[in-house]
Chains A and B, each alone.
Chain A
Amino acid sequence: MRRGPWLWACAVLAYLFLYVPLIIVVVYSFNDSRLNAEWVGFTWHWYEILLNDENMLRAATNSLLIALVASSVATALGTMAGIAMHRYRPKLLPFMVITPVAMPEILLGVSLLLFFIQVLNLTLGMISVILAHITFCIGFVAIVVRARLAGMDESIFEAARDLGATPWETFKYVTFPLILPAVIAGFLMSFTLSLDDFVITFFTAGVGVSTLPLQIYSMIKIAVTPEVNAVSTVLMLLTLTMIVLAARFAPETLKSHT
């Protein structure tokens, strides 16, 4: 195939553009200087500060708790939505599943803020953030599960029915084991998205609760220190692990971004 030198040069530049900024963040997290300007010497100092930063640790705990609860519920609801969309071809459900993901995030953020305060009269905090995260995670799980079902032979389910299996038995012994990789991948994706979300959390968290992205945001808005680089590096490692896990369980998730 034709891959001329120009194509190579442009492609290498694009990869450099993607990676150099992140490498700089990681490298400066080990830099013995308050300024992210030039390399002075190696240190673990910023990681020590990070480990002793109570606000940061509380935010990390909140983030993990929110991600765990939100992605569990979203996985259950999203799997149901994926199966329903595949089996019954409903009209409204795909719209409600896809739109929150396809619109600019800020719209879901402010409409939920309005809804929580004005209609539910809910104090913003952990609960409102979890509910908001479930709303946008359902779509990702549903899409992965439906993609998995679409690639399967319908006759398996018919065979189960012909052999006298009830719908529940068909689900338990046939459908669920078959879609399990997609369900796990959906869970890991939701977990990562929830852990990473800034915009929607920003509007639905109020003053009640802080998460890692909110903490990072206030740090870069107020005073930038390499502690931000350190927490960024830790977060990168965490999400990297989730992506590698997702890729192992269901390689098709890598393509579901599109």
Chain B
Amino acid sequence: MPFSTITALLRTRLTRWAVSGPPFLFLLLFFLAPSLIMVLASFRYPGEFGGLAPLRDADPVVLQGLTLETYQFFFSDIIYAEIFLKSFVVALATTLICLVMAYPLALLIARSPKKHRDLMVLLVILPFASNFLVRVYAWMIILGPQSAFARLFNDVLGLFGIGPVALLFSPVAVLIGMVYVHLPFMILPLYTNLEKHDPVLLDAAQDLGANAWQRFWRVTFPLSLPGVFAGSALVFIPVLGMFAIPDILGGTRDMLIGNLIKEQFLGVRDWPFGATLSIMLTIAVLAWAGFSTWLAKKWSHGYA
């Protein structure tokens, strides 16, 4: 091989490493390594003062330093399965409510004249501009016992002879907060999908005698399934791990997976169990992602 070819080859290799090397190494160190450490930590004993026990302990019982104890503990008490189930239910409910609220708006934007669409999309994104905690805090004000809304709500309930109920620090408040924070994540992918639909299809359906209801359920909705699934994933996954919203808007009994994990790491400081819960959450997220990908393929098969 001539020398010039070798240097050219070397140079290409070098360029490649110079470009991909730094981000690769950074993420290797601060994303992949911590994730693997998490897996390892879930098989460890808790330390005497929180954290993890040292791997080489003088105590012969924990000499190996690795154990399945935290996993046994997880499966031994039904309460953990219950909290996981509750988190799934909340995530599913949030996703469905978001879908029902987002669909008309996404459809309206997609069917508006082109020159208005960007502005209408911007109006959906702008609430993102406020801090996540601010958006949750807004509902503390609205649902708080002294607020006009809560008083009106209880007055109406009073007409039916139902006693005043606390709106704040309840499962309903958690659900409202979850929907409010994640709604734009559903609107945007739905809109991106609906915008691409060819209006000719609806005209054809109408010519063939389909009424508005049939046109929606048999043309528009099936075609929008990829958008529905994309939006559902963007809402479901963050809600499943959310701890701040139940923490702020929920009562003490509205604990979800996220709160449980936070409690293990910052409260009772049982890190191995916290790590086990995090691994379980990861598995739940991956299982859900796999399931919805499979469902998306199956459902959109006949239409795409």
- The reply to whether the CB of A223 lies closer than 8 angstroms to some CB of chain B is no
B23 and A97 form a contact (CB under 8 A): yes
Partner of A84, one of B19, B34, B105, B137: B19
- The reply to whether the CB of A150 lies closer than 8 angstroms to some CB of chain B is no
- Asked whether A258 and B189 contact (CB < 8 A) given A199-B244, A203-B265, the answer is yes
Number of B residues near A (Cβ < 8 Å) is 92
A167 to B, closest residue via Cβ: B15
Report A-chain residues with C-beta under 8 Å of the C-beta of B102.
14
**Chain A min CB distance to B130 (Å):** 5
A258 and B188 form a contact (CB under 8 A): yes
- The reply to whether the CB of B128 lies closer than 8 angstroms to some CB of chain A is yes
Chain B 115-141 interface 0/1 with A at a Cβ cutoff of 8 Å (1 = within): 000100111111111111111011111
**Chain B min CB distance to A18 (Å):** 5
- The reply to whether the CB of B158 lies closer than 8 angstroms to some CB of chain A is no
A99 to B34, CA, bound (A): 13
- The reply to whether the CB of B80 lies closer than 8 angstroms to some CB of chain A is no
A236 and B108 form a contact (CB under 8 A): no
- Asked whether A114 and B38 contact (CB < 8 A) given A2-B111, A80-B20, A93-B20, the answer is yes
B146 and A198 form a contact (CB under 8 A): no
Report A-chain residues with C-beta under 8 Å of the C-beta of B242.
104, 106
Partner of B237, one of A97, A104, A115, A224: A104
Chain A 72-92 interface 0/1 with B at a Cβ cutoff of 8 Å (1 = within): 000011101101100110101
Report A-chain residues with C-beta under 8 Å of the C-beta of B135.
21-22
B126 and A3 form a contact (CB under 8 A): no
A39 to B281, CA, bound (A): 44
Partner of B30, one of A3, A135, A216, A257: A135
**Chain B min CB distance to A71 (Å):** 14
Report A-chain residues with C-beta under 8 Å of the C-beta of B24.
81, 84, 90, 92-93, 96
**Chain A min CB distance to B90 (Å):** 13
Chain B 254-277 interface 0/1 with A at a Cβ cutoff of 8 Å (1 = within): 000010011001100001001100
- The reply to whether the CB of B241 lies closer than 8 angstroms to some CB of chain A is yes
B108 and A8 form a contact (CB under 8 A): yes
A1 to B, closest residue via Cβ: B111
A80 and B261 form a contact (CB under 8 A): no
Sample 11 A-B pairs with CB under 8 A, ordered by A number. Answer: A3-B112, A24-B138, A24-B141, A25-B130, A118-B41, A135-B31, A198-B131, A198-B133, A220-B137, A232-B131, A235-B130
Known pairs A76-B22, A106-B243. 5 more at Cβ < 8 A? Answer: A37-B148, A106-B258, A108-B31, A239-B131, A247-B122
